[in-house]
Structure 1
Amino acid sequence: MNVGQIPVYYNEYKTGRPIVGSGHTSKFVSKYLDVGNAPRFAFGYGLSYTTFKYSEIHLDTNILVRNGEIKASVTVKNIGQVNGKETAQMYIQDITASVVRPIKELKGFKKIELEPHQSEVVEFILTEKDLEFYTKDMIYAAEKGKFMLYIGTSSDNVKENTFEFV
């Protein structure tokens, strides 16, 4: 919204200082005094002449095992009156990592084109490789724990589900 907000990015870290608090005079919140914290357009935002509706996320299992995979799917429907192209985006959040992890990380996207009132199932395959990062011991690996999975049209317009890596 304003130059003073820079840098603004979708995969920010939690600060431990909430955006909302006991009022604008509290020093233990993280917000601008003269403008909101969100950018004008979220990461992944795109203009279209039509509107798309996403179903809830369906997972074939909520447990990801080593060398296994989870199939995550959503149904995307063009609820507008004209043809449109859409980019379905998949993000994850590591809730129980040993180091601070981003709130959302883009892990995949699929482009589709739909006619008016047409729908299509979009499927993503999630593997252990998608969960890897540099741990506190500087080893590139996936850690066991709980994760949030988000699929949607942009980083701030998503459906969510949870899974666990064991």
Structure 2
Amino acid sequence: TGKPVVLVLFTGRPLVLNWEQANVPAILNVWFAGSEAGFAIGDVLFGDVNPSGKLTTTFPKSVGQIPLFYNHKNTGRPLADGAWFQKFRSNYIDIDNEPLYPFGFGLSYTTFSYSDVALDKTSMTDKGELTATVTVTNTGKRDGAEVVQLYIRDLVGSVTRPVKELKGFEKIFLKAGESKKVSFKITPELLKFYNYNLDFVCESGDFEVMIGRNSQDVKKAAFKLL
């Protein structure tokens, strides 16, 4: 009785869900949706609606990781991707650095694949723009919607810059087996930040554009602001 089990999670903040992640086949995070929540939850549980929501916060593996957020500043001694523990690096002894669920995470009753990021050019000026494009394919057996997310990193700045920042997103609907190209215009406005003098500026240098299904699972490409 009660299998498969689905955990319907009512919460107003990120929680540590390591046991639930390991032992429960599916978790439906419904926040606090109000008086119509029961109807919406029922539609998702019985498959009448294919969920497409994405997390607007980061869920940690341990309270010891807090504060944990996707757009943190870089450390001078970063840990290599996928590594557990290395001496003289910014890491923990008994847990890795990664969250349980990253910002922008969310599953569906279908699956999506992303092509590599294609740029129409690899450099731009502070008066120009460029376009980044990916092809998203519904690789599952059910129709569904996907939120395609654009992140940008300013690799070197006059003040420290985040390792990535969400700069755009687009929700698309794809039938099973269907593919669609999604393009984002990258303008100087998306590259600006407040410098030491509190001027809102963009600075020449190297940038990284990332497009994917969440803040961790992304495809990357590089460009320069001249």
Normalised-by-shorter TM-score class: over 0.9
The match for 1:43 is 103
Which AA in structure 2 matches 1:107? K
- For the residue of structure 1 that corresponds to 2:147, the secondary structure is strand
Taking the TM superposition and a 5 Å limit, the aligned residue runs for 1:64-79 are: 64-79=124-139
The match for 1:127 is 187
Give the paired residue count: 163
1:15 aligns to 2:15 (yes or no) = no
TM-fit CA distance, 1:24? 5.2
The match for 1:99 is 159
Question: What stretches of structure 1 of length at least 5 have no aligned partner?
Answer: none
Q: How far apart, CA to CA, are the structure 1 residues paired with 2:101 and 2:109?
A: 17
TM-fit CA distance, 1:3? 1.4
1:53 aligns to 2:113 (yes or no) = yes
Q: How far apart, CA to CA, are the structure 2 residues paired with 1:24 and 1:80?
A: 36
Q: Per-residue CA shift, 1:24-81, capped at 9, x if unaligned?
A: 583x221111211111011110021111111111111111112211111100000001
Q: How far apart, CA to CA, are the structure 2 residues paired with 1:53 and 1:88?
A: 11
The match for 2:204 is 144
- For the residue of structure 1 that corresponds to 2:213, the secondary structure is strand
- For the residue of structure 1 that corresponds to 2:190, the secondary structure is helix
Q: How far apart, CA to CA, are the structure 1 residues paired with 2:212 and 2:86?
A: 35
Structure richer in strand, relative to its length: 1
The match for 1:164 is 224
Q: Per-residue CA shift, 1:80-103, capped at 9, x if unaligned?
A: 011111011011111121111000
Percentage of matched positions with identical amino acids:
45
Cα 1:66/1:18, change in 2 over 3 Å: closer
Is residue 79–residue 86 contact of structure 2 (8 Å, CA) maintained in 1?
no
Is residue 152–residue 209 contact of structure 2 (8 Å, CA) maintained in 1?
yes
Higher RCO by CA contacts (8 Å cutoff, separation 6 or greater): 1
TM-score normalised by structure 2 residue count: 0.69
Q: How far apart, CA to CA, are the structure 1 residues paired with 2:223 and 2:68?
A: 28
